[in-house]
Copies of this chain bind each other. A is one copy, B any other.
């Protein structure tokens, strides 16, 4: 079982993420946009991945991971999310700081590492962003992430991530004292402008805009 280069791993991961729904065609351009590089580079790499039997490629159907390629990708995602849990829970990093570090840690190679880390962390199901952590056999829980906007009045949810990561939004959240883990109860939805009235922490009722509610990811 040969290993992959760092670059190959990054391609596999991006292809895996682009394939989320399995519906849309994964084109060289889509990959180049995700990796922020040139389509020509992507075409080169696709050839290498095809040679290594990690992906299949037909211009008509786009790129598809082979089983082998998917397993590699899932293991990378598994390591990424486990390391995120470690960074957040054990080292105390904020949920906005962990991604870039996990992006490096996910490439550490050792056959037992993911399993040992998982055990050490107590077999977490979700990472600090609410994304499910694939198990050793590749299975993975369903993501329960939804938009705050989709929570029905009367229900309570827990903040797991933000969609918009602009500092203006993050600062607003800070001012409200809403962070990862904050429990929010939806009190009411105003049909007129789709704003909602919510309660959380010591705040008994505040109104937030539609845009706000569409950028906060929660876990029911």
Q: Tell me the A residues contacting B by CB distance below 8 Å.
A: 90-93, 100-101, 104-105, 107-110, 112-113, 116-117, 120
A108 touches B110 (CB 8 A): no
The 5 closest A-B pairs by CB, nearest first: A91-B116, A104-B108, A101-B110, A90-B120, A91-B120
A93, B115: Cα distance in complex, Å: 12
A110, B109: Cα distance in complex, Å: 19
Least distance between A206 CB and chain B CB atoms (Å):
33
Known: A91-B113, A93-B116. 7 other contacts (CB 8 A): A100-B110, A101-B113, A104-B107, A104-B108, A104-B109, A105-B105, A105-B108
Least distance between A66 CB and chain B CB atoms (Å):
26
A105, B108: Cα distance in complex, Å: 7
Kindly identify which residue among B91, B104, B112, B120 contacts A117, using a CB–CB cutoff of 8 Å.
B91
Q: Which residues of B contact A93 (CB under 8 A)?
A: 112, 116
Across the interface, name the chain B residue whose C-beta is closest to A83: B108
Kindly identify which residue among B92, B105, B108, B120 contacts A116, using a CB–CB cutoff of 8 Å.
B92
A153, B45: Cα distance in complex, Å: 64
Q: Which residues of B contact A107 (CB under 8 A)?
A: 104
Least distance between A9 CB and chain B CB atoms (Å):
13
Write 16 A-B pairs (CB below 8 A) sorted by A numbering: A90-B120, A91-B113, A91-B117, A91-B120, A92-B116, A93-B112, A93-B116, A100-B110, A101-B108, A101-B110, A101-B113, A104-B107, A104-B108, A104-B109, A105-B105, A105-B108
A120, B120: Cα distance in complex, Å: 14
Across the interface, name the chain B residue whose C-beta is closest to A107: B104
A93, B168: Cα distance in complex, Å: 44
Across the interface, name the chain B residue whose C-beta is closest to A6: B6
Least distance between A144 CB and chain B CB atoms (Å):
29
